[in-house]
Amino acid sequence: MTIRTVLNILSVNQFEEDLKTAVDFCGAHGAHLNAMVISLGAPPMIGEYNAISTVWIEERQREIDALSEKTDEIKTILDRSGISSEVQDVYTEFAWADEDIAERALYADVVLVGRQAARDDQLRKRIIDGALFRTPTPILINRGTRPMNSSSRSVLLAWDSSDEASRAARQSLDLLKQADIVYVTLVDPVARMRANGEEPGADIATYLARHGVRVQVDRLASGGQRADEVLRQHAIDTSADLIVMGAYNHPRWQQTIFGGVTRRMIEETKVPIFMAH
């Protein structure tokens, strides 16, 4: 997939690094940047006689004014950047933020979530639920120790022959083609015709190679470790600066109760992750 429109979610409280990363990313890909700066307001405080608290009203107005001020600051930065861009400001409540994000994610090729936005637990949850699970748009999220690069030299593609992994591979083609090497990584693969084929990883490697991607297939034994642990260690071993994977192969209620590979990868991985559902 060719990346032409990037939705960058920015926290109103801290955004400087995330905005610079988005500008660099869009500049490298010749993409239009839609910067969405979002402020999450608390629900109304109800006082005596079911009246809305005046303290809450005053705090809400202060937050709206701060959002407007930060939005103007972002517009000034983007005007100087030279890239095609626009800015949208959104003041919303926690309960509705995922819908606001999903509405805008529908019209982007990828949703970019930098370190500053990702550190905001409430905002991160709303982005994942809104962009990743309510739209077909993939997300590129960074919870690592360093800013995200505009392009990756070494990429780990987590492969399990699932629909989600296939969508992740297709939607990240622009990124994969730019990499020096892509490690197609399978954990405890089973060779059978209706799953991974007689030679696990060979089919997706051939598909990617036809698109000009430089591929190496790595079949790893878990040795009793969880799949996410194996993937993270292999990312370290291969010096991968991006992981591409599908999100949630199991029913979402199971993931909510028991966690899962996807959640642990988001919470514990120190390199950027491109995810598609």
Q: What is the pLDDT of residues 186-220, one digit of tens each?
A: 999 987 666 666 789 999 999 999 999 999 999 99
User: Burial code of 10-32, b = ≥16 C-beta within 10 A, e = fewer?
Assistant: bbbeebeebbebbbbbbeebebb
- Start-to-end CA distance of the chain, whole Å, equals 15
CATH number, domain 3-139: 3.40.50.620
Residue pair 22/121 in contact (Cβ under 8 Å)? The answer is no
Widest Cα–Cα separation across the chain: 70
Q: Give me the pLDDT at residue 59, please.
A: 84
Q: What letter represents residue 256's amino acid?
A: T
The CA distance from 149 to 36, in Å, is: 20
Does 43 have pLDDT greater than 90? no
CATH 3.40.50.620 is held by the domain 152-273: yes
| Residues 275 and 158: beta-carbon distance below 8 Å | no
DSSP category for residue 117: H
The H or E element containing residue 36 is: strand 32-41
Strand, helix or coil for residue 73: helix
Each residue's pLDDT tens digit, 55-104: 778 888 999 999 999 999 999 999 999 999 999 999 998 888 999 999 99
Instruction: Give the tens place of pLDDT for each residue, 111-159.
Output: 999 999 999 999 999 999 999 999 999 999 999 888 898 888 999 999 9
Q: How many CB atoms lie within 10 A of CB 143?
A: 19
Backbone angles phi, psi at 123, to 5 degrees: -65, -40
Instruction: Tokens 């995200």: give the residue.
Output: 148
In the structure, what pLDDT confidence band is assigned to residue 257 with cuts at 50, 70 and 90? very low
- Decide if 276 contacts 157 (C-beta within 8 A): no
> pLDDT tier at 1 (50, 70, 90 boundaries)?
confident
Same fold, 3-139 and 152-273: yes
Mean pLDDT of 249-272: 72
pLDDT of amino acid 258: 42
* Ranges of each domain in the chain: 3-139, 152-273
Which residue is listed with tokens 């959104």?
Answer: 90
CA dihedral of residues 224, 226, 231, 234 (deg, nearest 10):
-30
